[in-house]
Structure 1
Amino acid sequence: MNIYTKTGDKGKTRIIGKKVLAKDDDRIEAYGSVDELNSDVGLAISLLGEKTNSLHDELEEIQQLLFDAGHDLAMLADDQNHPFIFDPASITWLEKKIDQYMKVVPPIKKFILPGGTRLASTLHIARTVTRRVERRIVALQSHSKINPDVLVFINRLSDYFFACARYANFLDHQSDVVYRNSHTIFR
């Protein structure tokens, strides 16, 4: 099997359902950004250590869910042969994880600098990439019907990465650094 199709040689790519789009189409930008985010999560997994290895299975699950989200973004909503596959129960699962981690880490009232351990720093990068993914999906949604659960999941995922980065620092006994000019934000 060849992994190259040569369609991209002319700046085009084929989405699920065989439709051909320009590589800079909003749909391609959206699911391509999801793919980039998935790679960031893979990097985070590679940085897990003895104290943070408990995050392995859930980060791998997020990679699976990102593939599902990418699938739904890589197809036209009216394609009868390829229904949406993203499971909205994943949103509730993420919310529980966020709540779980935020109960454990020290409370904050001000903005913190993204950083800490290598793992936490990578999770903060994943958080910011997730926000970009969200913007790409919103741009796509402005003119194309999408699975709305994907956008909700991505919005929640950035909160998850924030909570998970703080939790990773906590597990490795690394304190968050408060942004010195921050006013009280969180109450």
Structure 2
Amino acid sequence: MGRYGRGDSGETDLFGGGRVLKSDLRVECYGEVDELSSVIGLCRALLGGKHFDVDQVLHGVQETLFRVAAELAAEDPAKLGLELIGEKDISALDEHVAKIEARLPQLRHFIYPGGSLPGSMLHVARAVARRVERKVVGLSTRESINPNILRYLNRLSTLLFALARYVNTLEGVSEDTWPGRGIH
């Protein structure tokens, strides 16, 4: 039998060896990273070839998320020779956020998620990224993981928020602000 069917008993392989239940928190975490990458793929599809700069940023994020998932799926990522999430990955997100925010008006009020279809989907991706971050925080209280993964996921949701605003601006859709108290 090929690789298919090995998980029929409710267990799965970790990267580099070992088997765990599919309900294991580590498996949940890298599964949620996969879901996030899939949602980002949908965002890219909704861009429909427009906004190449945004598509390139999102493609780079997907590449990094594959590395995040591989790290989370490995019992000993360094032993496997994986390229670990590091400062350069976090700095890349920070640089993207700074460039995008420089093109946007400063937020004075909270905004409702929405706008154009790709902008709205980027808000969904941001919310999924926050959920992934919460799951990985839970994992980090039980197992040793690379702390840069948490930093990366935290910054990623900031980037996705900025991209949602930016895409809505490019699409000519104004922000729908919450009439409550301002941000500052």
Q: TM-score, normalised by structure 2?
A: 0.93
> What is the Cα deviation at residue 79 of structure 1?
6.4
> What is the Cα deviation at residue 51 of structure 1?
4.8
| Distance of aligned partners of 1:157 and 1:78 in 2 relative to their CA distance in 1, 3 Å threshold | closer
Q: Does 1:60 align with 2:70?
A: no
User: In 1, are the aligned partners of 2:130 and 2:157 still within 8 Å (CA)?
Assistant: yes
Structure 1 segment 140-155 matched on structure 2, within 5 A: 140-155=139-154
User: In 2, are the aligned partners of 1:77 and 1:145 still within 8 Å (CA)?
Assistant: no
**1-structure distance, mates of 2:9, 2:178:** 47
User: In 2, are the aligned partners of 1:17 and 1:82 still within 8 Å (CA)?
Assistant: no
**2-structure distance, mates of 1:107, 1:2:** 54
Structure 1 segment 6-155 matched on structure 2, within 5 A: 6-49=5-48, 51-77=50-76, 80-155=79-154
> What is the Cα deviation at residue 18 of structure 1?
1.4
Percent identity reads 37
Please, what is the CA RMSD of the aligned residues?
1.8
**2-structure distance, mates of 1:78, 1:105:** 39
Gaps of 5+ in 1: none
Q: Equivalent residue of 1:29, what SS?
A: helix
| Alignment correspondent of 1:170 | 169
| Alignment correspondent of 1:158 | 157
User: In 2, are the aligned partners of 1:91 and 1:156 still within 8 Å (CA)?
Assistant: yes
| Distance of aligned partners of 1:174 and 1:17 in 2 relative to their CA distance in 1, 3 Å threshold | same
Amino acid at match of 1:60: H
Amino acid at match of 1:138: V
Amino acid at match of 2:182: T
Q: Deviations over 1:11-53 (max 9, x none)?
A: 1110112111111111001110000000011101111146523
**1-structure distance, mates of 2:152, 2:77:** 21
**2-structure distance, mates of 1:63, 1:83:** 16
| Alignment correspondent of 1:184 | 182
Amino acid at match of 1:183: R
Q: Equivalent residue of 1:174, what SS?
A: coil
User: In 2, are the aligned partners of 1:51 and 1:172 still within 8 Å (CA)?
Assistant: no
Give structure 1 regions of 4+ aligned residues with deviation exceeding 6 angstroms: none
**2-structure distance, mates of 1:82, 1:144:** 20
- Using the TM superposition, name which of 156-165 and 46-55 deviates more: 46-55
Q: Equivalent residue of 1:8, what SS?
A: coil
| Distance of aligned partners of 1:174 and 1:50 in 2 relative to their CA distance in 1, 3 Å threshold | farther
> What is the Cα deviation at residue 3 of structure 1?
4.9
> What is the Cα deviation at residue 87 of structure 1?
3.8
**2-structure distance, mates of 1:78, 1:45:** 29
User: In 2, are the aligned partners of 1:91 and 1:153 still within 8 Å (CA)?
Assistant: yes
**2-structure distance, mates of 1:99, 1:78:** 31
Q: Deviations over 1:128-177 (max 9, x none)?
A: 00000001101110010111111110000000000000000111111110
Q: TM-score, normalised by structure 1?
A: 0.92
